[in-house]
């Protein structure tokens, strides 16, 4: 049977977070027996319940006549209009709810389908269309490009470039590595970044828009974490705060992270008309929209006081939990003074102790010994080797328990 499936799919790995989930399930009985029941800090899925308003509205609409039917693929009008209001608040500019916004079954679905729409699939790596992606970056980007028959070329985000790489230099490096820069179709940026929590300046966004215009490539801004910024920290910007960005850019948003709605699968893309239109057309052949009660609830939380308050509280919680963990790692000998924990997202990106040869060796050891589930840094790109990512998404008690276990089990920075 296997040979019947296309070669792109055959070259795919199961998504790293699912691999980790399966391994966690396999180890659960053994870990539980030794008082180390798994604490999952791998996926970016906060444990807290979504806002009460969202739950109430889903319940209410689930019981309302006519809510069970197919929905408009691009999103019901009330949702698209609420998104237009939200984007106007963020950027000061108008978005046409019919042509410049499309609802998504989570931003992952939208990014993957847009990438699919851009690439002419080729098997030989040097013939492939290229999507520039951040390295380290969201683990799915590379695989989404690969399964579409393209090549995801990682642009290093480093402390030296302040996580805002020189894009012309990246293009030159691409050529030096033997790839054709004319094959570049799009650039993906993601600020605040998963896994680093790094943010970028408005000036950098301005340069990025200019770069994409100059080279005629689509700018894909993944803003999944844009609202997750700690109090007093510099705010993250939408690419549409830059004049003329709609000519080259689309931006992806998610309800998953700010409202803990990861399982309810809803997000949106907005911006360039052609890109949004093509994505909508592609989606019309492969999906049939989002369950109406979820669209209703999402549209009601979006510009509400309750929603804004929820995000504010969530950010305070993430900051508190980050402090518990960073204090703990300091006690365990990690060089926290040099690390500068991020002031955005709910991720913590730390070096592995020197005695380990690889990130995977370390995260496997911690999982098998202490039941603490984290992700090896190389899952996010070649630049992630030697690091690991911890999602600070469990409860405060569990975060304290993590540090306690690491101490008891001797995971010191040595």
Ligand X SMILES: Cc1ncc(COP(=O)(O)O)c(C=O)c1O
CA distances from 159 to 1, 85, 336 (A): 47, 36, 15
Kindly tell me which of 190 and 272 has the beta carbon lying closer to ligand X.
190
Question: Given the complex with ligand X, which of 138 and 179 has the nearer CB atom?
Answer: 138
- Element housing 152 (H / E): strand 151-156
Interface residue with ligand X, options 208, 236, 256, 383 (CB under 6 A): 256
Examine residue 42 and tell whether it contacts ligand X (CB under 6 A).
no
Ramachandran class of 362: left when φ > 0, alpha when ψ lies in -120 to 50, beta otherwise: alpha
Q: List the one residue from 44, 165, 377, 384 that touches ligand X (CB under 6 A).
A: 44
Please tell me the distance from the alpha carbon of residue 96 to that of residue 91, in angstroms, as a whole number: 14
Residue 224 binds ligand X, judged by CB under 6 A: yes
How many residues form the binding site for ligand X (CB under 6 A)? 13
Does the protein bind ligand X through residue 260 (CB under 6 A)?
A: no
Taking CB under 6 A as the binding criterion, the range among 101-109, 233-241, 279-287, 301-309 that sits at the site for ligand X is 101-109
Question: Which segment (72-80, 106-114, 273-281, 335-343) binds ligand X by CB under 6 A?
Answer: 106-114
Site for ligand X in 113-142 (CB under 6 A): 138
Residue selected from 148, 190, 260, 378 as contacting ligand X according to rule CB under 6 A: 190
Q: Quick one: which of 204, 131, 197 has its CA closest to 161?
A: 204
Cα 306 from Cα 301, distance rounded (Å) = 7
Applying the rule CB under 6 A, the residues between 194 and 213 that interact with ligand X are 194
Among 36, 108, 292, 321, interactor with ligand X by CB under 6 A: 108
Q: Which of 317, 332, 339, 328 is nearest to 396 (CA)?
A: 317
Distance CA 311, CA 126 (A): 44
By CB under 6 A, tell whether 221 contacts ligand X.
Answer: no
Binding mask 61-90 toward ligand X (x if CB under 6 A, else -) reads: ------------------------------
10 Å CB burial of residue 33 (0-12, 13-18, 19+) is: exposed
Please report how many Cα atoms fall inside a 13 Å half-sphere around the Cα of residue 414, on the Cβ side: 6
Applying CB under 6 A, the residues found at the interface with ligand X are 44, 106-108, 138, 190, 194, 222, 224, 254, 256, 262, 267
């Amino acid at each position: 049977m296997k040979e019947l499936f296309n070669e792109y799919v055959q070259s795919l790995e199961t998504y790293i977070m699912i691999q980790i989930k399966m391994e966690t399930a396999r180890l659960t009985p053994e870990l539980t027996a030794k008082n180390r029941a798994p604490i999952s800090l791998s996926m970016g899925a906060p444990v807290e319940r979504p806002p009460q308003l969202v739950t109430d509205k889903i319940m209410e609409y689930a019981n309302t006549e006519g809510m069970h039917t197919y929905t408009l693929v691009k999103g019901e009008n009330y949702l698209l209009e609420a998104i237009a209001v939200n984007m106007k608040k963020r950027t000061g500019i108008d978005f046409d709810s019919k042509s410049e916004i499309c609802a998504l079954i989570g931003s992952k679905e939208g990014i993957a389908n847009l990438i699919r729409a851009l690439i002419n699939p080729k098997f030989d790596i040097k013939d492939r269309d290229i999507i520039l992606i951040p390295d380290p970056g969201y683990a799915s980007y590379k695989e989404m490009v690969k399964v579409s028959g393209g090549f995801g070329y990682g642009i290093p985000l480093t402390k030296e470039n302040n996580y805002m790489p020189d894009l012309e230099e990246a293009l030159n490096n691409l050529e030096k590595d033997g790839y054709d820069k004319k094959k570049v179709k799009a650039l993906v940026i993601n600020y605040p970044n998963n896994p680093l929590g790094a943010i970028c300046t408005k000036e950098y966004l301005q340069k990025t828009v200019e770069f994409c215009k100059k080279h005629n490539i689509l700018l894909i801004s993944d803003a999944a974490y844009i609202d997750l910024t700690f109090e007093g920290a510099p705010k993250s910007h939408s690419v549409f705060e830059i004049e003329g960005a709609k000519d080259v850019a689309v931006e992806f948003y998610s309800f998953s992270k700010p409202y803990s709605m990861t399982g309810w699968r809803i997000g949106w893309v907005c911006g360039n008309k052609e890109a949004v239109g093509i994505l909508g057309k592609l989606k019309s052949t492969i999906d049939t929209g989002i369950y109406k009660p979820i669209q209703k609830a999402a549209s009601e939380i979006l510009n509400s006081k309750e929603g804004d308050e929820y995000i504010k509280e969530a950010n305070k919680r993430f900051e508190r939990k980050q402090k518990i963990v960073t204090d703990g790692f300091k006690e365990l000998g990690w060089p926290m003074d040099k690390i500068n924990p991020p002031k955005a997202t709910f991720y913590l990106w730390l070096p592995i102790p020197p005695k380990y040869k690889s990130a995977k060796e370390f995260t496997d050891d911690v999982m098998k010994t202490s039941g603490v589930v984290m992700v090896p840094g190389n899952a996010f790109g070649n630049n992630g080797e030697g690091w690991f990512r911890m999602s600070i998404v469990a409860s405060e008690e569990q975060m304290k328990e993590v540090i306690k276990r690491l101490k008891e089990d001797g995971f010191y920075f040595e």
